[in-house]
Structure 1
Amino acid sequence: MTDISQIKEHMEVIGADGVHVGTVDGVEGDRIKLTKKDSGAQIEQAEGSHEGHHHYISTGLVAGIEGDKVRLSATGANAVNFEEEEGGQQG
């Protein structure tokens, strides 16, 4: 199991396919909070509006930590489907 305490602010979050998903703003409970400016808005095949507010990724999707990158078990496009909005809604 990955040591979630190793996840730090400004680390890059990437999908299993190496696609950029976002940038860590912090960890809140069992979720990674992504920065507002970089919450996966540019991922191809992403649906809906992903700009202007924080998104969260479950720490359960973390496959590992490699240097300054948090690698997810889901691809970049699939990770967006698991993102949660600030209010707790899945995106």
Structure 2
Amino acid sequence: MPHNDIREHMDVVGADDLPIGTVDRVDGDHIKLARTDPEAGGEHHLIPIAWVEEVDADTVRLSLVAEDVMEQWEPTGL
């Protein structure tokens, strides 16, 4: 999945359509999620671009369900 289609402020949802967060930016081969999202707990998280299943006009849909993503995402500590 080409990451050029992923833009700031796009919604990120799991395969189950549950919200995961909002794109802050693409950082190498990861998506950095905004720390202001309710799911973020006040810190940025990184998710691999390899988890992206589909990108449409304003949503990034992942191949994992939301619960699995949040168990495996990487907090940045910032």
TM-score (norm 2): 0.91
Partner of 2:53: 63
Q: Give the structure with the higher percent strand.
A: 2
SS in 1 for 2:36: helix
Aligned pairs for 1:69-80 (under 5 A) are: 69-80=59-70
**Residue pairs, 1:1-91, within 5 angstroms:** 2-38=1-37, 41=39, 50-86=40-76
Mapped partners of 2:75, 2:26: distance in 1: 15
What whole-Å deviation, never above 9, does each CA across 1:29-76 have from its counterpart, x for those lacking one? 0110000111x62xxxxxxxx412111111010001021100000001
Moved runs in structure 1, 4+ residues, more than 2 A?
none
- What is the CA RMSD across the aligned residues, in angstroms? 1.2
- The alignment of Structure 1 onto Structure 2 pairs a total of residues equal to 77
Q: What is the CA–CA distance in structure 1 between the aligned matches of 2:42 and 2:57, rounded to whole Å?
A: 28
Q: Distance in 2 between matches of 1:70 and 1:62?
A: 7
Identity %: 40
Unaligned runs of 5+ in 2: none
Give the distance between the partners of 2:54 and 2:2, measured in 1 at CA. Answer: 8
TM-score by length of 1: 0.79
Q: Which runs of 5+ in 1 are unaligned?
A: 42-49
